[in-house]
């Protein structure tokens, strides 16, 4: 019988919860398991979001059960695969325990280093974000200043252009007012001369 150690999905939609089970590989996905060995909750945001029965898993793997990829990752995290490997090498229980404790110490150091790296990367990201926001605010201020200057220049140009046509129109009015008066005076002079000539002739 081909036996597998895999996950059986439970829980609501968008809220998955898995049981780690021993099941016949020929059975359907949601078929009845032979034995339940633990659970895995991917939604929980903690370091250990799973629980397994180590002794039973070791027993079933020694019997020939094949773990799925996700279950294999969990077994690596727990150090079960290392324990099985050491047993296959024929080491005594004391040696296995010693090696396992060494592995646990290394794992704790790795986790600490990982956490410190995550903290450093978060700090760097915060600094980069602050620098970016400062650059953006400086750029926006420069744009505002550059927009204000052309507006002031255009206002000055408008004032100058408004004043010049007004002065020109005043000059034109003066010229036009002066010209008709001169013409009327000339006409009057001409009429006076013609009258004086006519009076002279009559005499």
pLDDT confidence of residue 185 = 57
In a domain, 202, yes or no: no
In a domain, 49, yes or no: yes
Whichever domain contains 40, its CATH number is 3.30.1320.10
Query: Cβ(41)–Cβ(92) under 8 Å?
Result: no
Strand order across the 17-24 sheet:
50-52, 35-40, 17-24, 3-10, 66-67
What whole-number distance in Å separates Cα of residue 189 and Cα of residue 125? 97
Mean pLDDT of the chain: 77
Query: Cβ(39)–Cβ(16) under 8 Å?
Result: no
In a domain, 155, yes or no: no
Which residues 6+ apart lie within 8 Å of 127 measured at CB? Answer: none
In a domain, 12, yes or no: yes
In a domain, 7, yes or no: yes
Q: Which domain holds residue 14?
A: 3-90
Tell me: pLDDT of 42 over 60.
Answer: yes
Q: Which residue has the tokens 């002065």?
A: 167
What's the predicted TM-score (pTM) here? Answer: 0.51
In a domain, 33, yes or no: yes
In a domain, 85, yes or no: yes
pLDDT confidence of residue 177 = 47
Band of residue 175 on the pLDDT scale cut at 50, 70, 90 = very low
pLDDT confidence of residue 21 = 92
In a domain, 24, yes or no: yes
Total number of domains in the chain? 1
The predicted-structure confidence for 60-101, as pLDDT tens digits, reads as follows 988 888 999 989 998 888 888 888 888 888 888 888 888 888
């Amino acid at each position: 019988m081909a036996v597998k150690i895999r996950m059986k999905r439970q829980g609501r939609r968008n809220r998955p919860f898995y049981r780690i089970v021993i099941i016949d590989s020929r059975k359907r996905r949601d078929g009845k398991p032979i034995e339940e060995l633990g659970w895995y909750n991917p939604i929980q945001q903690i370091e250990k979001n799973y629980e397994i029965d180590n002794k039973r898993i070791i027993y079933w793997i020694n019997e020939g059960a094949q773990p799925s990829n996700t279950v294999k990752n969990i077994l690596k995290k727990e150090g079960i695969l290392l324990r099985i490997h050491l047993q296959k090498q024929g080491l005594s229980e004391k040696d296995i325990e010693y090696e396992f404790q060494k592995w646990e110490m290394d794992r704790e150091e790795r986790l600490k280093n990982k956490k410190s790296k995550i903290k450093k990367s978060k700090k760097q990201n915060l600094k980069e974000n602050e620098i970016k926001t400062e650059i953006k605010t400086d750029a926006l201020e420069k744009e505002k200043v550059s927009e204000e200057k052309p507006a002031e220049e255009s206002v000055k140009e408008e004032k100058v252009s408004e004043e010049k046509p007004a002065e020109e129109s005043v000059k034109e009015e003066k010229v036009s007012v002066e010209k008709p008066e001169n013409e009327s005076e000339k006409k009057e002079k001409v009429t006076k001369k013609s009258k004086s000539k006519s009076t002279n002739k009559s005499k």
